[in-house]
């Protein structure tokens, strides 16, 4: 028996405990983000306008970078993340409120339930199965950039099928979600709990929006 053999279980157990702790923190922070977004959706109709929408779009991009830029100051990063979640709630409020006011409450409920269950299943799968998630993540990110370009061009030339776009969004962010859960399983790859929660939150939010579009059979103005 090698001298280090007896200590191996302790190392493995410690790593497992650290990973479990990180996963718990990430899920808590991301869940808080979803709750804050819900509050944003509820508050937005009181003062919503087209100008507010575009202001939210710009602010959300800036806040994403700000969260990552303040990674060495967790309380500030957390505060910026929650502010981002509120802004994202304002941003998607018109689409969600349109569904609710047109009698599609079931669409919102089913999309939220499917997102929650799907995230749970994909998260569990990421803890069980193994693959080169970094390579898969790079491919998924490249596909996301392509999807964004297609979406922007589609705003002007209207050649994009809304249904196909929603399915593509669902597929890409589902893959990114698995990749992010595997990053957590691997200890975060140097990312903080807030950064990981931001990724999980954005994955889940985009999956939810894609599902509302698929379930409603309609298209959202992009």
Instruction: For 119-171, write each residue's pLDDT tens digit.
Output: 999 999 998 888 899 999 999 999 999 998 988 887 777 777 888 999 999 99
CB 197 within 8 A of CB 29: yes
The structure's pTM equals 0.87
Average pLDDT, the chain: 87
In this structure, what are the phi and psi dihedrals at residue 22, rounded to the nearest 5 degrees? -65, -45
Q: How many CB atoms lie within 10 A of CB 19?
A: 16
Percent of residues, the chain, with pLDDT higher than 70: 90
Q: Which residues contact 142 (CB under 8 A, 6 or more apart)?
A: none
Lookup: tokens for 1: 């028996």
Kindly state the average pLDDT of the residues 51-62. Answer: 90
Per-residue pLDDT at 36: 97
Overall size of the chain counted in residues: 222
Q: Write down the residue that tokens 């979600």 correspond to.
A: 177
Give me 63's structure tokens. 């806040």
């Amino acid at each position: 028996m090698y001298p280090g053999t007896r200590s191996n279980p302790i190392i493995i157990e410690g790593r497992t405990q650290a990973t479990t702790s990180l996963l718990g923190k990430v899920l808590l922070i991301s869940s808080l983000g979803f709750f804050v977004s819900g509050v944003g959706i509820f508050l937005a109709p009181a003062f919503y306008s087209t100008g507010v929408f575009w202001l939210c779009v710009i602010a959300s991009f800036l806040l994403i970078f700000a969260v990552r830029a303040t990674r060495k100051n967790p309380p500030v990063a957390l505060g910026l993340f929650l502010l981002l979640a509120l802004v994202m709630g304002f941003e998607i409020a018109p689409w969600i409120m349109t569904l609710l006011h047109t009698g599609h409450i079931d669409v919102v409920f089913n999309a939220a339930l499917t997102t929650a269950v799907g995230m749970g299943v994909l998260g569990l799968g990421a803890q069980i199965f193994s693959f080169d998630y970094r390579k898969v993540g790079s491919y998924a990110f490249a596909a996301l950039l392509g999807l964004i370009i297609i979406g922007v061009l589609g705003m002007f030339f209207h050649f994009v099928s809304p249904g196909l776009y929603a399915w593509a969004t669902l597929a890409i962010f589902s893959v990114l979600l698995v990749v992010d859960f595997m990053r957590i399983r691997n200890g975060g790859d140097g990312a903080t709990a807030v950064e990981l929660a931001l990724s999980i939150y954005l994955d889940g939010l985009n999956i939810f929006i894609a599902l509302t579009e698929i379930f409603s059979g309609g298209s959202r103005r992009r």
